[in-house]
Amino acid sequence: MTAELVRGQNHPLPRTRLEIRVSAGTPVVAGATLGDETGTVRGTEWVAHPGSPTLPGLEVSRQAAADHRLAVDLEALPQEVHRVSVLLALPLGTAGPSRFAAVAAPFVAVTGLDGTEVVSYTITGLDAESAVVALELYLRNGAWKVRAIGQGYAGGLADMLVDQGLPQARQLAETILDAVALGASRSVAAPPPRTSDEARVRAGAASTAGTDGGQADTAPPQTAAQRPLTGAGPIDYAHPRRQTSAPPPAPTAPPAAPGEPPRPVAGDATGWSMDERLYNQVWGMFEDLARTTAAYRSAVDFADSRMEQELDRVLSDPRSRIGSTGDHAREEAAARREELVGRAQEAFDRDVAQLTAESEVVEPALPPAYASWDNPVWHGYRTPMEIPMALRVGDLRLPERPELRIPMLVRLPLERGLWIDSGRSDAEATDFMDAEQVKGLAVETAVALAARLLAVYPAGEFAVHVIDPAGAAAGALAPLTGSGVLAAPPAVGAQGVAAVLTGLTERLDLLQMAARGGAGADALPPGMDMAEQLLIVNDFPHGFDDRAVNQLRYLADEGPSVGVHLLMVADREDASAYGPVLQPLWRSLLRLTPVPDDHLADPWVGHTWTYEPPLVPPGSAILGKVLGQVAEARRAWPR
């Protein structure tokens, strides 16, 4: 049975290879420190944290997440280690809570590798603390035990590490939080929960019993100038026409034959519109693939660990190391592993086959905002009347099934800027490319994303500016410049850079002041363009002085809340001369790559996803056709 500990209680550990599972309900940083016989942490090399997640006998998560699984092998720890302390901390500096009193009580469990719980502990009684020592594993009289600690620190990670005797405590605390913030720039957004079939039925029934009789508001869509001004802070995604009506029932699949899985149906999710249903369905597919892959990997790891333990027992007896007894034991251990892996593979293949069938149905039904450039829906493109819920910025896949690709959707309006990394990476696709080819492909990716944004917004509601200081990207930018969809020609030279940045920062200041003062759009200067603005910056930091760099940081931090967005095409190494001053800029942007690259972290299940950019197929004329229609709609739009 599991021992449920309270603060101060201890319990013997029956095994030395363990997992420590954390469930916090909100993203937290999980780490661990090693202590000697006095409990002192001798140096930073004795601390496992997101920036340095692996130590001998210890591995922690690489970034903040609501759930963690920490691996501990007590026999592999350095001989002088007598204590392992498990630390939890809120990732300060983000939009999340700053004290544990504002979140659900964290739950911690020590389990075997098979998931069997040894002890559990719910950390209660926390208030203003932002960091806490949850548990400690300690060596006493040659045996390992676990103790529930629950010691919180209002001063955060720094005070906690100081209390453990670490000389470089405050510097390490900053390093940990920097690593967490940087990891956020490589993370895919948290998907909404997958709606179960039962919940879909309930939602469908509720839609027929709404307070307004199920009738949706039919008011015409608002233009950019008619929408109320928003101030600094989180973006509100609430749709003005979804306040009084319940969602209609989702479409139901035709009955499947007995023993067969249900047939997939496009839009088989709850939502007020097909747009919303497909959005929820795509994120549900993402979540299902993540979970089934995590289950498969966990099962294989367990099978490997079990075989290793069985072989260790065989080899520990000199009499069974050689001869038929040892051979027979090895064969049995290998057979049991193959049986476990086979069952896991069968379940994984079944789940992936169902997801593949769903993808084959959903992909052709996607609207332009969610569709890839080779989807036929773009050939019937018409300028939309409303902003969609989200935008496809690429595809995601996992190595177990690279042929199954899930659309990567980000909500609109954009909550954070985008960074197309134009530097060389470890991706296989760059092995036969030089630096200039990678940079050119990065600009093409930026053009494809900008074109998608222009295409999915109503006419006159989205404007694009380009800064190309040296004019190096003139060829790649030709689809935008030639079609006439840009607000102005690309800015070149120091004066051009300064003019664009000054105009956008002044716009940002005016909108923030009007929003904070409760003024409407009529209080702004006459003729001010109320459309959302996208600034594409190529080849940063060339052509940027210190003032321009500060303006760019200001736009990245404050711009999204008032409809000013940033799309950077840059090699981070080129900006290294600025030192740490640009760290906040990179952290605030979502890093994308112009070639397939496995850099996007999924903290909810610990995956690393391979991202593929949304490039136009070679030889396709669809980009020019769509941008031509966007330009025509802009010319016809009344100003």
Predicted confidence (pLDDT) per residue in 472-513, tens digit: 999 999 999 999 999 899 999 999 999 999 999 999 988 888
CATH number of 3-184: 2.60.60.30
Identify the burial level of 249 via C-beta atoms within 10 angstroms of its C-beta, where 0-12 means exposed, 13-18 middle and 19 or more buried. middle
* Domain spans, the chain: 3-184, 246-365, 376-521+540-636
CB 33 within 8 A of CB 164: yes
Model confidence band, residue 328 (pLDDT cutoffs 50, 70, 90): confident
What is the C-alpha to C-alpha distance for residues 610 and 427, in angstroms, rounded to an integer?
A: 10
What is the C-alpha to C-alpha distance for residues 233 and 229, in angstroms, rounded to an integer?
A: 12
Model confidence band, residue 590 (pLDDT cutoffs 50, 70, 90): very high
- Find out whether the peptide bond into 192 is cis, omega within 30 degrees of 0: no
Segment 172-189 shows an average pLDDT of 70
What is the C-alpha to C-alpha distance for residues 429 and 353, in angstroms, rounded to an integer?
A: 28
Gyration radius of the chain's alpha carbons: 27
Percent of the chain with pLDDT over 70: 84
Average pLDDT score, the chain: 83
* Cβ partners under 8 Å of residue 621, min gap 6: none
pLDDT of amino acid 236: 58
Model confidence band, residue 98 (pLDDT cutoffs 50, 70, 90): confident
Segment 519-532 shows an average pLDDT of 75
Residue 422 has pLDDT above 50, yes or no: yes
Model confidence band, residue 552 (pLDDT cutoffs 50, 70, 90): very high
Segment 209-236 shows an average pLDDT of 46
Segment 523-552 shows an average pLDDT of 87
Q: How far apart are the first and last CA of the chain?
A: 72
Predicted confidence (pLDDT) per residue in 156-173, tens digit: 999 999 998 888 888 898
Predicted confidence (pLDDT) per residue in 36-72, tens digit: 988 889 999 999 998 888 898 898 888 788 888 899 9
Residue 576 has pLDDT above 80, yes or no: yes
**55-69, 315-329, 622-636, range with greatest mean pLDDT:** 622-636
Q: Name the residue with higher pLDDT: 180 or 69.
A: 69
Model confidence band, residue 224 (pLDDT cutoffs 50, 70, 90): low
563-583 b/e (C-beta count within 10 Å ≥ 16 → b): bbbbbbbbbbeebeeeeeebe
* Cβ partners under 8 Å of residue 614, min gap 6: 372, 373, 392, 393, 394, 395, 445, 448, 449, 452
Identify the burial level of 196 via C-beta atoms within 10 angstroms of its C-beta, where 0-12 means exposed, 13-18 middle and 19 or more buried. exposed
pLDDT of amino acid 258: 61
Model confidence band, residue 184 (pLDDT cutoffs 50, 70, 90): low
How far, in Å, are 194, 196, 290, 496, 597 from residue 190 at the CA level? Answer: 12, 18, 12, 38, 20
Architecture of the domain made up of 376-521+540-636:
3-Layer(aba) Sandwich (3.40)
How far, in Å, are 43, 51, 83, 161, 413 from residue 167 at the CA level? Answer: 7, 18, 18, 8, 45
**326-340, 450-464, 523-537, range with greatest mean pLDDT:** 450-464
Model confidence band, residue 97 (pLDDT cutoffs 50, 70, 90): confident
pLDDT of amino acid 115: 76
Segment 431-454 shows an average pLDDT of 92
CB 52 within 8 A of CB 90: no
Residue 104 has pLDDT above 70, yes or no: yes
Model confidence band, residue 313 (pLDDT cutoffs 50, 70, 90): confident
Segment 387-412 shows an average pLDDT of 94
Model confidence band, residue 577 (pLDDT cutoffs 50, 70, 90): confident
Closest CA to 452 of 615, 612, 611, 267: 615
pTM of the complete model: 0.67
Percent of the chain with pLDDT over 90: 45
* DSSP 8-state secondary structure symbol assigned to residue 187: B
Model confidence band, residue 125 (pLDDT cutoffs 50, 70, 90): confident
Residue 202 has pLDDT above 50, yes or no: no
Residue 253 has pLDDT above 80, yes or no: no
Cα atoms in the 13 Å half-sphere on the side-chain side of 452: 27
pLDDT of amino acid 564: 93
HEC secondary structure over 25-64: EEEEEEEEEEECCCCCCCCHHHEEECCECEECCEECCCCC
Q: Name the residue with higher pLDDT: 277 or 526.
A: 277
CB 288 within 8 A of CB 309: no
Predicted confidence (pLDDT) per residue in 72-94, tens digit: 999 989 999 999 999 999 987 66
What is the C-alpha to C-alpha distance for residues 514 and 533, in angstroms, rounded to an integer?
A: 17
Both tokens of 91, joined, read 């990732």
pLDDT of amino acid 301: 84
Longest Cα–Cα distance in the chain: 93
Both tokens of 7, joined, read 């603060």
Segment 341-348 shows an average pLDDT of 90
Segment 347-356 shows an average pLDDT of 92
Helix, strand, or coil (residue 625): helix
CB 194 within 8 A of CB 105: no
pLDDT of amino acid 228: 55
Helix, strand, or coil (residue 384): coil
Residue 391 has pLDDT above 90, yes or no: yes
HEC secondary structure over 527-585: CCCCCEEEEEEEEECCCCCHHHHHHHHHHHHHHHHHCEEEEEEECHHHHHHHHHHHHHH
- Own/partner pairs for 268-276, CB < 8 Å, 24+ apart? 268/200, 269/195, 269/200, 270/195, 270/199, 270/200, 270/203, 270/204, 271/247, 272/216, 272/239, 272/242, 272/245, 272/247, 272/248, 274/367, 275/367, 275/369, 275/388, 275/389, 276/247, 276/389
Residue 220 has pLDDT above 60, yes or no: no
Give the helix ranges, DSSP H, for 99-215.
156-163, 169-184, 197-207
* Cβ partners under 8 Å of residue 326, min gap 6: 314, 315, 320
Assign 3-state DSSP to the chain and report helix, strand, coil percentages, each to 5.
40, 20, 40
Model confidence band, residue 423 (pLDDT cutoffs 50, 70, 90): confident
